[in-house]
């Protein structure tokens, strides 16, 4: 059961919230070969690893989060958002779905079950399962400086905070071929909507062959605060809606503001975060997971029962 659902059930009135079985289907969407093609100049991607030690959250100094700017252009973000709506039947003429297919986002309650918990998660969502887009979005990340080296193989003490103590016993994970979970969750937040503090859970495939250790957030539109536009200025831009990391007592925090084409990747374990309330405008983002496969070749046991790591 997810951390957020446990909190929701413990909250007044949510203990009896109805858990429902959910299934998501899409209609085909044409994807051109040129859409999200590799960048001709990867140096435009700016890589900023979050230094928690030199932040209001020094207790997270061993935890991993990185911000990548200019991963997608505004035109690519607009097109991706349009295509996500097409995947649920919008923009096709004839009988259009209500709200272009956006529906209230629910909270995971275990495999294929969800619960509506508006006190904790209040936004609209489109789920688009597409391995082609997942692969191309991950390929862009791999073009950024240092990302291939960091994410290709998880092994040893350096990844203990990400994967757990099993890394000290010789566990070794390799990034899945497609990189991202093909289940792309597009999110839409209007004024007054939010996602309360929580930690993300790991996503596992049905056959158990892959699991995630990191969250991937792609921001699809700008916020006024990211552009440095003061509160006194009249603008239709998004205000609020930051992804905020919190201390355990919720008294200290660190914000990552939405910006077109910005990607935020952070480990699931121990990083308490929220989607701050939107106070004006609309926030569009897409969330997925970075998927890994256990490398069976990484661990061997000799006749004495000693573990040998095959590098």
Give the total residue count for the chain: 311
Contact indicator for 196, 107 with CB cutoff of 8 Å: no
φ/ψ region of 122 (left if φ > 0, alpha if ψ in -120 to 50, else beta) reads beta
Contact indicator for 142, 179 with CB cutoff of 8 Å: yes
Q: Which two tokens stand for residue 251?
A: 């008294």
Closest-CA residue to 104 (of 118, 91, 83): 118
Calculate Rg over the CA atoms of the chain: 20
Closest-CA residue to 216 (of 47, 104, 67): 67
- Note the pLDDT of residue 297: 63
List of domains in the chain: 48-296 (2.60.120.620)
Residue numbers of the chain with a pLDDT score lower than 50: 1-15, 300-302, 305, 307, 309-311
- Residues in contact with 5: Cβ distance below 8 Å, sequence separation at least 6, in sequence order: 107, 108, 109, 115, 117
Q: Is 163 helix (H, G, I), strand (E, B) or coil?
A: helix
Contact indicator for 210, 292 with CB cutoff of 8 Å: yes
The structure's pTM equals 0.89
- Note the pLDDT of residue 21: 87
- Note the pLDDT of residue 235: 80
């Amino acid at each position: 059961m997810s951390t957020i659902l446990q909190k929701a059930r413990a909250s007044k009135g949510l203990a009896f919230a109805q858990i429902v079985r959910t299934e998501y289907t899409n209609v085909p969407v044409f994807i051109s070969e040129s859409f999200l093609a590799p960048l001709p100049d990867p140096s435009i991607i700016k890589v900023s690893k979050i230094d928690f030690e030199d932040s209001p959250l020094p207790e997270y100094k061993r935890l991993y989060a990185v911000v990548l700017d200019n991963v997608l252009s505004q035109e690519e973000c607009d097109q991706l958002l349009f295509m996500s709506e097409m995947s649920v039947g919008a923009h096709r003429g004839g009988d259009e779905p209500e709200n272009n297919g956006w529906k209230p986002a629910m909270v995971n309650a275990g495999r294929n079950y969800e619960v509506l918990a508006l006190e904790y998660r209040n936004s609209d969502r489109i789920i688009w399962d597409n391995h082609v887009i997942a692969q191309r979005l991950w390929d862009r990340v791999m073009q950024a400086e240092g990302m291939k080296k960091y994410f290709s193989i998880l092994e040893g003490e350096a990844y203990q905070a990400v994967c757990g103590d099993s890394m000290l016993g010789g566990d070794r994970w390799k990034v899945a071929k497609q990189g991202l979970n093909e289940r792309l969750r597009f999110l839409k937040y209007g004024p007054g909507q939010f996602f309360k503090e929580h930690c993300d859970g790991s996503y596992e495939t049905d056959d158990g062959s892959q699991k995630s250790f990191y969250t991937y957030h792609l921001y699809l539109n700008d916020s006024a605060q990211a552009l440095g536009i003061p509160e006194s200025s009249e603008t239709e831009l998004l205000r609020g809606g930051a992804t905020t990391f919190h201390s355990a007592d919720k008294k200290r925090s660190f914000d990552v503001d939405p910006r077109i084409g910005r990607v935020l990747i952070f480990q699931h374990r121990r990083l308490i975060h929220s989607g701050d309330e939107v106070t004006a405008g609309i926030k569009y983002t897409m969330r997925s997971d970075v998927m890994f496969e256990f490398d069976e070749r990484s661990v061997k046991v000799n006749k004495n029962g000693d573990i040998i790591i095959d590098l």
